Structure 1
Amino acid sequence: MKRVVIIGSSCSGKSTFAKQLADKLAMAHIELDQLHWLPDWVERPDPEFRALVDKASAAERWVIDGNYSVARDIFWPRATTIIWLNHSFPLVLYRAVTRSIHRSSTKKPLFAGNIETFRHSFFSRESIIFWVLKTFHTKRARYVNLLASDELRGINIIELSGQKQVDAFLDNV
């Protein structure tokens, strides 16, 4: 596992898992959300974002987490391993709600200093909870097809379903 991509639905635990894996493997952790978001929840323009992803993923060893299809063609072909956190919908929705409560109550700065507010988390069309409800099932179906693609031949693909599998995988690294 020299270059590892962590994918999964929003709130599946990609960043937490990627950081833990990167620490265990003594590799750089690249969080695509960190490269994507600008202050005030403004999305970085695609060409700029792609350039940052290209530069970050040119290294010899890394763990990248994120689902940004706009840059997938850059870092997936460089990967030696893709790990899909394929958790159940109830678990992911639970994590979206509890994460939103935690982040909005602690006001801990996230990417580019952005802060999740209670209003944004629970009463906005940009809410991560709404996003999970809207995208979970289509993303899951898309990953089934993407990961079966001939283009990924030679890349080690690992599917982890449920936190017990995630924990066991990390324990065995």
Structure 2
Amino acid sequence: MRRINVVGTSGSGKSTFSKHLAGKLSCPYYEMDSLFWKANWQESTDEEFFEALSQVTSNEHWVLDGNYNRTVPIKWHKVDTVIWIDYSLGRTLYQAVKRAVYRIISQKELWPNTGNKESLKKVLASKDSILLWTLKTYHTNKIRYQSIMTDEQYSHIQFVRITSPKEAKQFIENIIA
């Protein structure tokens, strides 16, 4: 495992898992959201986003956290392993709520130099609510990744499906770096 993309529904624990994995492998960790989001919640253009993603995936060793389906041709060009964090809907939603509450209270900047922070309004009363996004994408993500794992087009990729926090912990503990 040298070039890894960790995927899963928002709130599933991709970032936490990815950071631990990159630490265990002593390799760079990249969060796709930090490549995508600009200051004041402005989105990067596809050209900007794809260029940033191409740069980080040109390295020989990395852990990349994020979905962004339109980026599959770029991020999976060199990937050797895709790890799907596939916890239950209840667990994923619990984690998403817990993270949102922490972010609202802490007012911690989400991605460096963006000033982007969670707010109660953004989390609960917005069409862009991360909790709503988690609910809307959970089942479609499950169907998509189940299909992708058996698609011949991706036969060069080792797929790993992790279905519980205990399994995630064991996976990282069993890695020989």
Tell me the CA shift for residue 113 of structure 1. 2.4
Q: Deviations over 1:26-69 (max 9, x none)?
A: 00101100000011111111111001101110000000010011
Residue type of the partner of 1:76?
W
Q: Tell me the residue number matched to 2:94.
A: 94
Equivalent of residue 132 in structure 1, options 131, 134, 142: 134
Residue 49 of structure 2: SS of its match in structure 1? helix
For residues 8-157 of structure 1, what are the structure 2 equivalents within 5 Å?
Answer: 8-111=8-111, 112-157=114-159
How many pairs does the alignment contain? 173
CA distance in 1: counterparts of 2:92 and 2:41, whole angstroms: 22
Residue type of the partner of 1:110?
L
Tell me the CA shift for residue 84 of structure 1. 0.6
Q: TM-score, normalised by structure 1?
A: 0.97
> Where do 5+ consecutive residues of structure 2 fail to align?
none
Asked if structure 2 preserves the Cα contact closer than 8 Å seen for 1:77 and 1:152, the reply is: no
CA distance in 2: counterparts of 1:146 and 1:154, whole angstroms: 12
Tell me the CA shift for residue 89 of structure 1. 0.2
Equivalent of residue 171 in structure 1, options 170, 173, 177: 173
Q: TM-score, normalised by structure 2?
A: 0.95
Residue 82 of structure 1: SS of its match in structure 2? strand
CA distance in 1: counterparts of 2:77 and 2:152, whole angstroms: 12
Q: Which runs of 4+ in 1 moved over 4 A?
A: none
CA distance in 1: counterparts of 2:96 and 2:82, whole angstroms: 23
Q: What is the RMSD of the two structures over their aligned residues, measured on CA atoms? A: 0.9
Residue type of the partner of 1:44?
S
Q: Deviations over 1:125-151 (max 9, x none)?
A: 111001111111111111111221111
Asked if structure 2 preserves the Cα contact closer than 8 Å seen for 1:50 and 1:70, the reply is: no
